[in-house]
Structure 1
C-alpha cells in the first residue's frame, strides 16, 4: 500500500498567501493528494503493470485501487487484498513487486498434504497447460487434484474422483498419476497407446523471482514529478472558491 502525503510549505504559492487564505490549506491538501492518487499515480502504475507483467489478466489490471484523502489521513493506492473467491492480487503480485523466493501455491500445498510431493519441492507446469495469460486455469488444476484424490472438499461438495459412474466417465482417476518417468518426477497424464506426458514436473528448491514491477518506486517517482503541481493547482482553486 502506498500512502501519500504532501508538504504544503514546499509549495511556492504557500509562501505568498495571506493568513486568511491559509485557512484553505487543509482543503487544498486533501484535494491535491486525492487527485495525485486517482489521476496520476493509479493510472501511471496501471500503465507500467501492463508493460512489465507477463500477460496480466483483466482481473489483475482491475485490482488497483485509489482511496481519496481526508483531513485526518492521506490518499492511498493499493492492490485489492480481499476477494470473494480465489487469491487476491495483493497476495499473488508480491513476487513481482518485491522479488525473492516463491511460496507454495494452493495446488502444491494440496499435493504435499496428501503425500504426493515433498515439502521442499515445487511443481512446474508443462507449457501446454498454460492459458492465454500464462496461467493454469483453476478448472484444470481441480481436475488434476480430483484425479489424484487431493482435491479439497468444501461445503459438503466432494471434488475427488470416486467409483461412481459419473466420475468414471470423466476419467480423471485413470488419467493422472504421480510418479517418476525416466529422470523426471511429477504429475503425469496417460495418453493413448500407453504414452504418458508430463503435466507438472517437480523441482527441488523454491523458484527465485526478480523484481519486475517496483510498485512503491513507481508511485514515489510519480508523486515527486507531479506532487507540487497538483498542490499548487489545488491551493489556487481553494483560494478562488473560498467563501
Structure 2
C-alpha cells in the first residue's frame, strides 16, 4: 500500500494560502493527493500488465484508490487485502512486489498437515494443469484436496471424498492420488486415453524453496510517478480550488 500525503513544504503552503485562502486549502491538498493516487494506480496497472503473465481480471480490479479528504489529506493506492472467497491479491502478489522466497501456500500446508508432503517440500504446478492465466484453477485444487482427504484442513467444512454414492459420482478419490511415478513425487491425475489408462502430473513436489525476483517494484514506480507529477497536480489543484472558491 502506498500513502500519498499532501502536507507540503513552507513555500508551497505559503503559495497555496495566497492563492486560494485558508478555507479552500484542505480541499486543494486532498484533491492533489487523490489525483496523484489515481496516476499511481494507472502506472502500476500498466507495469503489471506488461510484466505479469496473463493477469486475471480479478487481479487487475484489485488495485484500489482511497481518496483523500479535506480533514485528512492522505490518499492511498493499494491492493485489496480481503475477498469474500479465495486468496486476496495483497497476499499472492507479495513475491512479485518484494521478491525473495515464498512461504507455503494453503494448498501446500494442507498436504503437509495430512502427511502427503514433507514440511520442507513445495508443490509446483505442472504445465499441463495450468489454465489460460497460468494458474491451476481453484476448483481443481479443491477437487485434489477432496480426493486426497485433505480438504477439511483448508475449507473448515466436510469436503473430503467419502464412500457415499454422491462422492463416488464425483470421482475425486479415484481421479487424483499422491505418490511417486517414474522417480518423481507429486500429485497425479488418472486419465483414460485411446491407448489405455494413463497418469499425468498436476503438481510436482520440490525439495528446493522457490525464489522470485522483483517483477513489480510497486513503491519505486509510485515514488517516480509522484515526483514527476507533484508540481503539476499541485498547480492544477490550486486552479480547481480557486475556480470553486466562494
Q: Secondary structure of 1:75's partner?
A: strand
Residue correspondence of structure 1 range 1-243 to structure 2 within 5 A: 1-6=1-6, 7-9=8-10, 11=12, 14-15=14-15, 18=18, 21-38=21-38, 40-70=39-69, 71-152=71-152, 157-192=157-192, 193-243=196-246
Judge conservation of contact 2:19–2:242 (CA < 8 Å) in 1. Answer: no
| 1:167-196 Cα distance to aligned partner (Å, 9 max, x none) | 222222122221112221111222343432
Judge conservation of contact 2:106–2:154 (CA < 8 Å) in 1. Answer: no
Matches of 1:241 and 1:194, distance apart in 2? 74
Task: Name structure 2 gaps, 5 residues minimum.
Answer: none
Matches of 2:11 and 2:72, distance apart in 1? 20
- The runs of at least 4 consecutive aligned structure 1 residues that moved more than 6 Å come to 153-156
Computed over aligned residues only, the root mean square deviation of the Cα atoms, in angstroms, reads 2.3
Q: Secondary structure of 1:18's partner?
A: helix
TM-score calculated relative to the size of structure 2: 0.89
Q: Secondary structure of 1:83's partner?
A: coil
Pair 111,225 (structure 1): closer, same or farther in 2 beyond 3 Å: same
Task: Name structure 1 gaps, 5 residues minimum.
Answer: none
Judge conservation of contact 1:151–1:159 (CA < 8 Å) in 2. Answer: yes
TM-score calculated relative to the size of structure 1: 0.90
| 1:185-218 Cα distance to aligned partner (Å, 9 max, x none) | 1112223434322221100122000000011111
Shift of 1:3: 0.6
Matches of 2:19 and 2:240, distance apart in 1? 16
Judge conservation of contact 2:190–2:200 (CA < 8 Å) in 1. Answer: yes
Pair 10,59 (structure 1): closer, same or farther in 2 beyond 3 Å: farther
